[in-house]
Amino acid sequence: MTDRMIFALPSKGALAEPTEAFLKDCGLKVNRLNPRQYTGTIATLPGLEVLYQRVTDIVYKVADGTAQLGITGLDVLQEHSSPDIVVIHEALGYGHCHLCIAVPEAWVDVESMTDLTEIALDFREQKGRNLRIATKYTHLARQFLHHHQIHHFTLVQAEGSIEAAPTIGYADMIVDLTQTGTTLRENHLKQIEGGTVMSAQACLIGNRYALQQAAVRDAVRVLAEYIDAALNGRQCVQITADIRGKSAEAVAAQVTTNPLTRGLLGPTVAPMYSTRAGDDQWHTVTLTVSNQNLLASVEHLRAIGGTHVIVSPVRLLFLEQSKTYTKLLERL
Amino acid sequence: MNASRVRALEQQLLAHMQLYGYTLVDIPIVQPADVFLTRAGDLMIDRLFTFEHHDQMLALRPEFTAAAARHYLEHAAGQVVRWQFCGATFVDDATEDRTQQHSLGAELIGMAGRAAEAEIIGMAVEGAQAIDLTEWRLVMGHVALQWHLLARFGLDRRIIRWLLSHRDALAQYGKEHVLTLFQATFALAANAVTGLDETPASTQRMLDVLLDSTQYGTTMGGRTREDIALRMLRKHQRAVARPQIETALDFLVEWMQIEDGFESVFAKIEAWIDADDEAGRLLLAQWRETVQRVIAAGIAPERIIVKPNLARNWEYYTGLVFVLQSRQGEAVAGGGRYDELTRLLGGTQATPAVGFAYYIDALHNELPQPHDEHSPITLSGPQAIDTARLLRQNGIAVLIQDEAGEISSTAHDFSYRQHIYGTLANLLAAVKATRA
């Protein structure tokens, strides 16, 4: 059994701050004595030591077992995939980005991957050289290009400022991450139809062999419970509303006529002791609804005489069990 | 498969090709994937066994020809070489019974003319006959003539390549389906250039607009404004090429149905070639010459079937292609001319080249099982070791057992048993004579 469990988190880059914030939202705040230290702790998980690393190194460290658990980008994981890594949760809901093909805006004749296939052949036949593509995702880029029948290209491995490569001249086009496309546009590049290599976000990973250990699995269970609860909580809000009715049963019957306001199991209806004289038979209804159905739910409550509707965020929502942990056990 | 039988077949065929002056060359099983991807057809690209190593894409060889062309560039450029290759080839296909297959090929590189084609085809057929493939037919097609006839419709190479790669879809789903696919693949998106007619004035205007629109670009990615404008024009021309595509598809439908004796098919093809189309006539004349040479080499004319649309899995073929088919229609060997491959792999010019390969696994399945295979006989007793040694020296396989026993009952075949007894009697007589 491992005495010291390491949970590797991004030290810098686009995932660093969102990861801290995400864990804090989950109730797993990382305590770091000062920002220059590369270690930290999580009060909820006393056996776990947090180690800050670059996202690529997190993949390597989890693969070789130096770290038992880690959070990194799905894009980085797929680029440096290892059979020794198990993806515990592949969509933590932040750090969204796309790995995509980007060509110079001046290539007005290139709108799709079919066009690019032809351009690659043109380069070889007319210019006597391969199309040069700058990227740090050489593995994913190569697979994607071959899949689209593009076989003649040279990958130029680069780190940082890849968007500038076609302007500087050391590559003709790029394969890189983008969130909004702004940086690409600022560098006179454009995306093309069918040119998304993959969509990615932050993910939780573990070492396959470490996950056989009871202590590591216990830590994963705690992480999975809090993460699932936080992600469940983000999907919904809690509503309380005051509704007049003869009885709690009568109010509940009215509320549940609409499937959107049936809550997780059903509404909680409690009698209210109104301070206004003669204004009795009020009840307070409490229920949980999904974000997307919020307004429709409020309108239904109004329609049956509801008022004073208060909407509160749900920080954590624990269901019967953690789906993530159950699935992990099945896979292991 | 019987491994001994496969080895024996390989040895027979290698010896056969040696009589034609073909020397055995070893080429690595692992090659840069680019070597095979250069002109792999869509089917082969999907089945290529690739992997990455030290950031390079590598492939297990799926065949010998492309690797042979690379070997030629590196070791024998400019010479005439006759090489043969033998060994494992690989396909990455879950539907195949075996990832690893056996193949044996020959390449004649650097020799121009029809004689090279006739030599390769003749050698392939004679080799198959030498290993007792009795029921076979030689099916021939011609890639260059097919391209030439499609180019008459004013189509560029990319379109022709696309049409040829959609022949199965054409046969299965018909012309309209392929036209729809074509529109989806090549039609222009709504933009500035659609709607223009094709008069020289409007073409020039479009080029001017495009050159103008790209002149402020600071990021050109290795292309010039002219590159971009000319390709835009090419795209536009494709978008208005539907009538030509339709005519080409009508031709292809008819072309794909032809399969007959060479005299009848050549007459049909001749009718398609215009009187002033010298290049077309030359290609057909060359094909005829190859057929005549093949017949002169001893192949019966009735064994030759011409199927102009004969499709091969590799797109590097540039002329005549052929397949040797068994009675069940199984391809047991195949090959053709591939003059452009050396240039595509980095050579300075095209090199005449013809080659073929026997598909040993298929060939093995098509051949009658040999009658002369015998299980080893089993001996035991105090004289067993000496007797076994003498028998083995005379080409008889022997197993030795501890228990008592006579000549094994596995030697059922009467004549073989006679042979064994005869050999023993001779050995005994020889021993007696020596002692006397």
Output the pLDDT for position B277: 93
3-state secondary structure B116-162: HHHHHHHHHHHHHHHCCCCCEEEEEEEHHHHHHHHHCCCCCHHHHHH
Chain B contact set for A172 (CB, 8 A): 221-223
Nearest to B89 by CA among B369, B365, B362, B368: B362
> End of a domain among B366, B391, B415?
B366
Output the pLDDT for position B347: 86
Q: Is residue B209 part of a domain?
A: yes
Q: Which member of A121, A157, A188 has the closest CB to residue B217?
A: A188
Output the pLDDT for position B50: 84
Same-domain pairing of B110 and B15: yes
Chain A contact set for B210 (CB, 8 A): 108
Weakest-pLDDT range from A171-180, B26-35, B420-429: B420-429
Q: How far is CA A278 from CA A271, A273, A281, B125, in A?
A: 15, 11, 9, 109
**A305: region left, alpha or beta (phi > 0 left; psi from -120 to 50 alpha):** left
Same-domain pairing of B166 and B312: no
Please give the helix or strand (H or E) that residue B27 lies within, else none. Answer: none
The CATH number linked to B110 is: 3.30.930.10
Q: Is residue B372 part of a domain?
A: no
Same-domain pairing of B126 and B232: no
Same-domain pairing of B161 and B132: no
Q: Average model confidence (pLDDT) for chain A?
A: 91
Same-domain pairing of B201 and B288: no
Domain that residue B213 falls in: 157-248
Query: Closest-CA residue in chain A for B348?
Result: A128
Same-domain pairing of B144 and B79: yes
Mean pLDDT of A189-218: 95
Chain B contact set for A139 (CB, 8 A): 52
Output the pLDDT for position B290: 96
Q: For A49-100, what is each residue's pLDDT tens digit?
A: 999 999 999 999 999 999 999 999 999 999 998 999 999 999 999 999 999 9
CA angle A139–A143–A147, rounded 5-degree value: 170
Q: Per-residue pLDDT for B188 more than 50?
A: no
Output the pLDDT for position B196: 45
Chain A contact set for B55 (CB, 8 A): 138, 157
Chain B contact set for A169 (CB, 8 A): 222
Same-domain pairing of B132 and B168: no
Chain A contact set for B31 (CB, 8 A): none
Integer Cα distance of A86 and A70 in angstroms: 10
Chain A contact set for B186 (CB, 8 A): 114
- Kindly indicate the confidence band of residue B218, based on its pLDDT and cuts at 50, 70 and 90: low
Integer Cα distance of B409 and A80 in angstroms: 62
Contact B219 A188 (CB under 8 A): yes
Mean pLDDT of B304-332: 90
Distance from CA of B223 to the nearest CA of A (A): 8
Same-domain pairing of B174 and B221: yes
ipTM over 0.85: no
Mean pLDDT of B184-203: 53
* CA diameter of chain A: 92
> End of a domain among B340, B366, B392?
B366
Q: Is residue B210 part of a domain?
A: yes
Q: Average model confidence (pLDDT) for chain B?
A: 84
> End of a domain among B366, B388, B423?
B366
Q: Per-residue pLDDT for B333 more than 70?
A: yes
Q: Which domains does chain A have, with CATH numbers?
A: 5-94+201-233 (3.40.190.10), 97-198 (3.40.190.10), 236-313 (3.30.70.120)
Same-domain pairing of B222 and B310: no
Q: Per-residue pLDDT for B345 more than 70?
A: yes
Contact B37 A151 (CB under 8 A): yes
Q: Is residue B256 part of a domain?
A: no
Output the pLDDT for position B225: 83
Q: Per-residue pLDDT for B341 more than 70?
A: yes
Whose structure tokens read 């020794």? Answer: A84
Contact A108 B213 (CB under 8 A): yes
Chain B contact set for A142 (CB, 8 A): 52, 57
Same-domain pairing of B234 and B283: no
Same-domain pairing of B45 and B139: yes
Output the pLDDT for position B414: 60
CB contact B66 to A (< 8 Å): no
- Kindly indicate the confidence band of residue B213, based on its pLDDT and cuts at 50, 70 and 90: low
Percent above pLDDT 90 for chain B: 46
Q: What are phi and psi of A311, to 5 degrees?
A: -110, 125
CB contact A113 to B (< 8 Å): no
Q: Per-residue pLDDT for B37 more than 70?
A: yes
Helices (H), B131-261: 143-151, 157-165, 167-173, 175-186, 200-213, 225-239, 242-256
Output the pLDDT for position A277: 67
pTM of the complete model:
0.70
Contact A149 B42 (CB under 8 A): yes
Distance of CA B372 to the CA centre of its chain: 32
Burial category of A305 from C-beta neighbours within 10 Å (exposed 0-12, middle 13-18, buried 19 and up)? middle
Q: Per-residue pLDDT for B125 more than 90?
A: yes
Distance from CA of B181 to the nearest CA of A (A): 12
Q: Is residue B9 part of a domain?
A: yes
Query: Closest-CA residue in chain A for B233?
Result: A109
Contact B219 A187 (CB under 8 A): yes
Mutate to test the interface with B, among A105, A109, A147, A183 (most CBs of B within 10 A): A109
Weakest-pLDDT range from A180-194, B312-326, B381-395, B410-424: B410-424
Q: Is residue B257 part of a domain?
A: no
Distance from CA of A8 to the nearest CA of B (A): 26
- Classified as helix, coil or strand, B78 is coil
Q: Which member of A106, A119, A171 has the closest CB to residue B217?
A: A106
Mean pLDDT of A305-328: 93
3-state secondary structure B271-314: HHCCCCCHHHHHHHHHHHHHHHHHHHCCCCHHHEEECCCCCCCE
Contact B223 A107 (CB under 8 A): yes
Percent above pLDDT 70 for chain A: 98
CB contact B157 to A (< 8 Å): no
Distance from CA of B298 to the nearest CA of A (A): 42
Output the pLDDT for position B192: 38
Q: Which member of B220, B231, B235 has the closest CB to residue A104?
A: B220
Q: Per-residue pLDDT for B373 more than 70?
A: no
- Kindly indicate the confidence band of residue B431, based on its pLDDT and cuts at 50, 70 and 90: low
CB contact B147 to A (< 8 Å): no
Structural domains counted in chain B: 3
Q: Which member of A111, A121, A123 has the closest CB to residue B189?
A: A111
Weakest-pLDDT range from A1-15, B174-188, B371-385: B371-385
Q: For B46-67, what is each residue's pLDDT tens digit?
A: 788 888 888 778 999 999 999 9
Q: Per-residue pLDDT for B137 more than 90?
A: yes
- Kindly indicate the confidence band of residue B413, based on its pLDDT and cuts at 50, 70 and 90: low
Q: For B145-167, what is each residue's pLDDT tens digit?
A: 999 999 999 888 888 888 998 89
CB contact A194 to B (< 8 Å): no
Same-domain pairing of B9 and B104: yes
Q: Which of residues 121-150 of A touch B (CB under 8 A)?
A: 121-123, 126-127, 131-132, 138-139, 142, 146, 149
Distance from CA of B43 to the nearest CA of A (A): 11
CB contact A81 to B (< 8 Å): no
Q: Is residue B186 part of a domain?
A: yes
